[in-house]
Chains A and B, each alone.
Chain A
Amino acid sequence: MKKVILLLVVAGAAAAAVAVALARGPAPQAGNASSHREAPLIAEDPSADNTDLYAFRSPDKPDTFTIVSNWIPGEDPAAGPNYYTFSPSARYNVYLDRNGDGKPDVTFRVRFKRNAGQFFLGDTAQPYTVTKIVGGKSSVVATGTTPPDNIGPRSTPNYHDLATKGIFPLGGGGSVFAGQRDDPFFGDIGAIFDLVAIRKGVGNAGGGKDFFAGYAVHTIALQLPIADYDTTSHVIGVWSSTDRQVVTVAQTKVKVKGKTRVRVAKKVVWQQVSRLGNPLINEAVIPTDKKDLWNRLSPATDKQFEQYYTSPILAAVINKLYNLGVKESDRSDLEAVLLTGLKQPNLNYTGPTLADELRLNLSIPPTAPHKVNRMGVLGGDLAGYPNGRRLEDDVIDITEQAVAGALIGTNIPLGDGVNADDKGYLSSFPYANDPNAGFDNTKGEPKP
């Protein structure tokens, strides 16, 4: 559900920009409703909004792999007095598909509690429980507490140490971290449709500005022993999602000792409202009228969306803008990379089932941090996107070049001019960096 604007910039050429989909970040509350209750209708539901998903072999612990799953787009560290938290009424899921059928074989499910009282300053530490579900059997594998949001040196001094205390062991092996992180995503979305912060002037000839610099997200990171999850093909599929409880108007009214009482259904019904596998699918691939549907479904049924992968809107947009003659239909190359994994070259193929998942080949060793190529596989670095996804991978440039035909022999140096995160990453788990403090925050874009 990440909302992002893709800014396409032809390197070296006169710049033009186009916005695709809605902006990521605090979009306007454009909802509207009935005459007197006025409940918002287009609530953005940021606490259920998956922003990004990463899966990679841990560079410092190569016998493990790491999944970093992010929620809550565009957290402004200086947004007090109301600080960000996971929703206590939602269910946060990370799924592993070990046999390529698009269905979960292992589920990590995280539920957060609200700390007592309202969210006063500094009271954003949330207790949580991690449940692991395998074959219908669930067991609690960790309980932990998130570090509080990074408010500033007075409320949250020594933040890095504080955050490090937020790493907890997973029963059966591995570690978990949950809490606020610097948004590892980078990209220039300060374009014409930018709903968050408006760049002065349009057209960005290279030298793009990282819109996400300074903003934070909420992260659930898992580090897992490869030996426990490896498969015969060595490829696992990963996706994340958020569920919310379904409540309906009618409750059963029953008479108890002559008094009418309402019987509340004991069994909670959950509905998935957001999901994320490969980056930019919800924003750049799935059309507006299908977004709700797509977000409700699991990857196993993604065949129904096939046409949007083989005839991507983005290709048409690129042609309209630059007249590059990009192939607009029959894009089996994109379908393969996003829905089945790559067979040729043999990278991360999981079988014929079309399913939007990050596919990580656990047998490919991690690239040493100083040798990482931000273009991943397109740059000859097989340990990066679309083989899983590392924090360093420049998915906007990779996606634009792939859509332009990089996998079918057409190399066009599209890109957004932002090649790395401003803050860098940690060298060990959870890798995603500490968030900026609200106290001294400098963001990529000042709000006008």
Chain B
Amino acid sequence: MRIRLALALAVAAVAAGALLLGGLFRDSRGAVPAPPPEAAAGALENELGTGDTASLVRSLQATLRRDPRNVHSYDLLGLAYQQRARETGDPAYYTKSEGVLRRALSLASNDLLATSGLGSLALSRHRFREALALGRRARALSPTTARSYGVIGDALGELGRYRKAFAAFDRLARLRPGLAAYARVSYARELRGDFPGAVAAMRLAVDAAVDEPEPLAWTDVQLGKLYWSHGHLGPATRQFRAALEAYPGYVYGLDALAQVEAAHGRYARAIRLERRAVETIPLPQFVTTLGDLEHVTGHDRLARRQYALIGVIQRLLAANGVRTDLETALFDVDHGVRLSHTLALARLARRDRPSIDGDDVLAWALARTGHCGEALRFSERAFRLGTRDAPKDFHRGMIERCLKHDAQARLWFRRALDLNPHFSLLWAPVARRYAS
């Protein structure tokens, strides 16, 4: 697996003294928390295939050698490459996918699959304006095809244009109800603070996914995370186990269960599970959690090694066209990395991605650099949909505390802990300390 080799080389370079993330832990203040659930480096956080993709790729390549003008084969190959990216975590497949999908469009400029495939690719690379334009083009090519509305809605949501995003999800849901629509409707309802509605929609997604192990595991994990984020540890655990039942070794299931184990204080088990996830697919959010687990168990040297790896992975992502500014900014703010530089990065990321998460990360970066008045404005924006999300509550608490609104701050800390006492491996204890 090429990515593992690349990572190994890069880690060796780190060990040799070329510290990629200068000033790591310069401003550590002893608190090194896990990212909130939405901080995932999304491009890679996707379903895994059923294992046939590699041979599919070979077969399509063979077809195209014989018939180099076969548009449909380019389409399928482009999608298969995106699937390979998910299976292996190697973002080089994004670059390959783009190449063949562009080739398809050069042969047939109005090809629907290539257009929406490039839209999906842009979403994976967090290029949301590009994704929106491609989604709209696909919609113009075929207004009755449901998939384009998913691309459009996803992009609009990340651009903070929620009313239109939700309208696109509704359109998707009316045109083609099913897993893709239910999961998006669930997410939108969650953003609107409608927890029961979000659970109901995700349950439908689970019921629609019954015959595909990986999508079933994916929806189980999503439903579990929904429960988790609202403090329902028992139901969350059941869904995570169901995911691993449906798809043994499912990395997102391992990662989620690791957090359950940590919530119960069983750190050794948590580390074992998270390490399995990281060894299968080294996604930044898994590596962060592993580092945080090592940090809270007093293994700072090991933790630092994990954190250094994240910078390497993000460089690899960036080299293949994936934008990770927001994720990098959150990691850096959480871990106290080069905070003044990080504030600039958070501003940039938020401009690129003016979603409630963009607002929240910027608010958090502002708070940690002492710009608490401005931070409050963005925190208020981050709550504009009525979202219930413990990390955002906690960030707000820190902002209020910084503004010497001590009573308000305590309310926000309690609100975070009431919603999910395990919202963050390392910030939850801080919230508990400040709440009383």
Is the CB–CB distance between A89 and B207 below 8 Å? yes
Stretch at the interface among B178-186, B300-308, B361-369, B393-401: B178-186
Flag if B177 contacts A273 (CB, 8 Å).
yes
Known A38-B47, A198-B59; judge A85-B210 contact (CB<8 A): yes
Q: Check B166–A32 contact: CB distance below 8 A.
A: no
**How many whole Å from B322's CB to the nearest CB in chain A?**
10
Please judge, given known A-B contacts A36-B38, A36-B42, A87-B210, whether A193 and B76 are in contact too, CB under 8 Å: yes
Set of chain B residues within 8 Å of A81, measured between Cβ atoms? 245-246, 248
Cβ contact of A41, chosen from B48, B120, B205, cutoff 8 A: B120
Whether the pair A28, B53 counts as a contact (CB closer than 8 A) is yes
B218 touches A40 (CB 8 A): yes
Q: Known contacts A193-B60, A247-B185; is A34 also within 8 Å of B177 by CB?
A: no
Tell me, in angstroms, the Cα distance from A87 to B179 when the chains sit together: 11
Assess whether A37 is in contact with B222, with CB atoms less than 8 Å apart. yes
Interface assignment of B224: CB less than 8 Å from any CB of chain A: no
Kindly count the residue-residue contacts between A and B in the assembled complex, taking CB atoms under 8 Å apart: 257
CB distance from A33 to the nearest CB of B (A): 5
* A88 interface residue per 8 A CB criterion: yes
Asked if B33 lies at the interface with its beta carbon under 8 angstroms from chain A, I say: no
CA distance A363 to B186 in the complex (A): 51
Interface size on B, residues (CB 8 A): 98
- The residue from B72, B182, B188, B212 contacting A29, defined by CB atoms under 8 A apart: B212
A31 to B119, CA, bound (A): 11
CA separation between A271 and B182, bound complex, in Å?
Answer: 13
Contacts beyond the supplied A90-B208, A244-B177: 13 A-B pairs with Cβ under 8 Å:
A26-B212, A29-B86, A34-B157, A37-B183, A42-B180, A89-B207, A119-B246, A192-B59, A193-B59, A193-B72, A196-B52, A202-B62, A244-B178
Binds B, one of A138-146, A286-294, A374-382, A428-436: A286-294
Q: A42-B79, A251-B189, A292-B175 are contacts. A264–B197 as well, Cβ < 8 Å?
A: yes
Residues of chain A within 8 A of B211, CB atoms compared: 46-47, 72, 75, 84-85, 87
- A291 nearest CB neighbor, chain B only: B145
Known: A36-B39, A90-B208, A194-B59. A26 touches B50 (CB 8 A): yes
Contact assessment for A88 and B214 in the assembled complex, using a CB-CB cutoff below 8 Å: no
**Which A residues have a C-beta under 8 Å from some C-beta of B?**
22, 26, 28-48, 72, 75, 79, 81-82, 84-90, 114, 118-120, 192-198, 202, 244-251, 253, 262, 264, 271, 273, 288-293, 296, 447-448
Q: Per a CB cutoff under 8 Å, which of A36, A88, A248, A262 touches B196? A: A262
Report how far A271 CA is from B211 CA in the complex, Å: 20
CB-CB under 8 A from B80, the residues of chain A are 28, 30
Question: Given A34-B157, A293-B144 in contact, is the A246-B177 Cβ separation under 8 Å?
Answer: yes
Q: Which of B151-175 contact A (CB under 8 A)?
A: 151, 154-155, 157-158, 166, 169-170, 173-175
Q: Which residues of A contact B157 (CB under 8 A)?
A: 34
Tell me which residues across on chain A come within 8 A of B130, comparing CB atoms: none
**Cβ-defined partner of B179 (8 Å) among A35, A40, A88, A264:** A40
Cβ–Cβ < 8 Å partners of A250 in chain B: 166, 170
Q: In the complex, what distance in Å separates the CA atom of A84 from the CA atom of B216? A: 12
A46 and B42 in contact, given A89-B204, A271-B174 (Cβ under 8 angstroms):
no
B319 within 8 Å of A by Cβ? Answer: no
Report whether A447 and B79 are in contact in the complex, using a CB–CB cutoff of 8 Å: no
B73–A193 touching, CB < 8 Å:
yes
| B276 interface residue (CB < 8 Å to A) | no
- Contacting residue for A32 out of B53, B120, B212, B353, CB 8 A: B120
| Interchain residue pairs with CB less than 8 A apart (11) | A29-B212, A34-B158, A35-B40, A35-B154, A35-B158, A36-B40, A42-B79, A120-B245, A247-B201, A293-B144, A296-B176
Q: Are A292 and B174 in contact (CB under 8 A)?
A: no
Contact yes or no, B47 A82, CB < 8 A: no
- Decide yes or no whether B14 CB sits under 8 A from chain A: no
A250 to B357, CA, bound (A): 21
The proximity string for B residues 241-267 relative to A, scoring 1 for CB distances below 8 Å and 0 otherwise, is 010011110000000000000000000
Report the separation of the CA atoms of residues A194 and B145 in the bound assembly, to the nearest whole angstrom: 24
Given contacts A30-B79, A273-B178, contact A82 B247 (CB under 8 A): yes
Are B210 and A245 in contact, with the CB atoms below 8 A? Answer: no
Query: Is the CB–CB distance between B212 and A34 below 8 Å?
Result: no
Which B residues lie within 8 Å of A198 (CB)? 55-56, 58-59
Enumerate chain B residues within 8 angstroms of A86, measured Cβ to Cβ.
Answer: 210
Stretch in contact with the other chain, from B17-25, B121-129, B229-237, B409-417: B121-129
Contacts of A90 in B (CB 8 A): 207-208
State the CA gap A40–B357 with chains docked (Å).
21
Q: Which residue, A81, A196, A246, has most C-beta atoms of chain B within 10 A?
A: A246
Please, which residues of chain B bring their CB within 8 A of the CB of A44? 212
| CA A47 to CA B178, docked complex, whole Å | 10
Closest 6 CB pairs of A and B: A30-B79, A34-B154, A39-B183, A289-B142, A32-B120, A89-B207
What A residues does B406 contact at CB under 8 A? Answer: none
B38: chain A residues at CB < 8 Å are 36
Enumerate chain B residues within 8 angstroms of A39, measured Cβ to Cβ.
150, 179-180, 183-184, 187, 205, 218, 222
Given A47-B211, A48-B208; A264-B200 close (CB under 8 Å): yes
- Please determine whether A30 and B83 come into contact, CB atoms closer than 8 angstroms: yes
- Minimum CB–CB distance for B351 against chain A, Å: 15
> In the docked arrangement, what's the CA distance between A28 and B39, Å?
26
Residue of A nearest to B246 (CB): A82
Instruction: Point out the residues of chain B lying under 8 angstroms from A32, CB to CB.
Output: 46, 82, 120-121, 123-124
Asked if B169 and A249 make an inter-chain contact with CB atoms under 8 angstroms apart, the answer reads yes
Q: A46-B212, A246-B174, A293-B144 are in contact. Are A30 and B42 (CB under 8 A)?
A: no
**Are A246 and B173 in contact, with the CB atoms below 8 A?**
yes
Contact B56 A195 (CB under 8 A): yes
Query: Is the CB–CB distance between B112 and A29 below 8 Å?
Result: no
Contact of A247 among B86, B187, B204 (CB under 8 A): B204
A196 partner residues in chain B, CB cutoff 8 A: 52
Q: Is the CB of A247 within 8 A of B144?
A: no
Which partner residue on chain A sits nearest B36 by CB separation? A36
B141 lies within 8 A of chain A by Cβ: yes
Distance between Cα atoms of A292 and B181 in the complex (Å): 14
Check B311 for interface membership: any CB of A closer than 8 A: no
Tell me, in angstroms, the Cα distance from A45 to B147 when the chains sit together.
13
Which of A37, A197, A291 has the largest number of chain B CB atoms within 10 A? A37
Q: Which B residues touch A36, using CB under 8 A?
A: 37-40, 42, 45, 357
Task: List residues of chain B with CB within 8 A of the CB of A88.
Answer: 207, 210
Among residues of B, the one whose C-beta sits closest to the C-beta of A294 is B144
Q: Given A45-B179, A249-B189, verify A37-B50 contact (CB < 8 Å).
A: no
Residues of the A chain whose Cβ atoms lie less than 8 Å from the Cβ of B248: 81
Complex Cα distance A32/B201, Å? 19
Chain B residue nearest to A448 (CB atoms) is B55
Chain A residues with CB under 8 A of B60: 193
Closest approach, in angstroms, between the C-beta of A45 and any C-beta of chain B?
A: 5
Out of B42, B169, B212, which one reaches A35, CB within 8 Å? B42
Residues A29 and B83 in contact in the complex (CB < 8 Å), given A118-B242, A249-B166: yes
- Tell me if B178 and A28 are in contact (CB < 8 A): no
Scoring B residues 67 to 92 as 1 if CB is less than 8 Å from chain A, else 0, what string do you get? 00000110010011011001000000
